[in-house]
């Protein structure tokens, strides 16, 4: 990581998961590297899928997985996942705002432009209702 050798760092963290499949730090780091540094969206998708098979109640990874659906072009599934997460009271406000932003982009990808303005307004209301 300190050498910024993202390919080998991601592969190393992914290798840790083969031995310790419930290592949350290894999962989070590998997923981050594949998605945000290497733009290996399908690989990040598989990592999240495997994590959620073992840890289905992890709402943080569920929200990341919704984003992975978007970045891999699974727009209909992304919409369904985001709707479920936004209805879940266990999902924190900051995650909700991020999901709402992804939902707006996903609406555009689905050609549902008529939904965009209302979703922007909902997101803005959520942001303005937060404490400082």
pLDDT of residue 80: 98
Angle at CA 23, nearest 5°, toward 101 and 6?
65
- DSSP conformational letter for 114: G
pLDDT of residue 126: 87
Residues 32, 51 contacting (CB under 8 angstroms): no
pLDDT of residue 130: 83
- The neighbour count for residue 14, using CB atoms within 10 Å, is 20
Residues 61, 53 contacting (CB under 8 angstroms): no
Question: Would you write out the chain's pLDDT as a tens digit for each of its 132 residues?
Answer: 999 999 999 999 999 999 999 999 999 999 999 999 999 999 999 999 999 999 999 999 999 999 999 999 999 999 999 999 999 999 998 899 999 999 999 999 999 999 999 999 999 998 998 887
pLDDT of residue 132: 77
Cα 103 versus chain centre, distance: 11
pLDDT of residue 129: 85
CB neighbour burial string for 78-97, b if at least 16 within 10 angstroms, e if fewer: bbebbeebbeeeebeeebbe
pTM for this structure?
0.89
- The neighbour count for residue 111, using CB atoms within 10 Å, is 8
């Amino acid at each position: 990581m300190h050498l910024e050798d993202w390919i080998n760092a991601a592969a190393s963290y992914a290798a840790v998961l083969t031995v310790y499949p419930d290592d949350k730090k290894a999962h989070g780091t590998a997923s981050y590297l594949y998605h945000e540094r290497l733009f290996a969206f399908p690989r990040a998708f598989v990592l999240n899928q495997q994590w959620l098979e073992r840890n289905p109640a992890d709402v943080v990874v569920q929200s990341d997985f919704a984003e992975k659906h978007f970045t891999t072009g699974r727009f209909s599934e992304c919409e369904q996942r985001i709707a479920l997460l936004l209805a879940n009271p266990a999902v924190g406000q900051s995650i909700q705002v991020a999901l709402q932003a992804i939902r707006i982009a996903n609406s555009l990808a689905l050609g549902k432009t008529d939904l965009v303005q209302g979703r922007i307004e909902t997101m803005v209301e959520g942001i303005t209702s937060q404490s400082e």
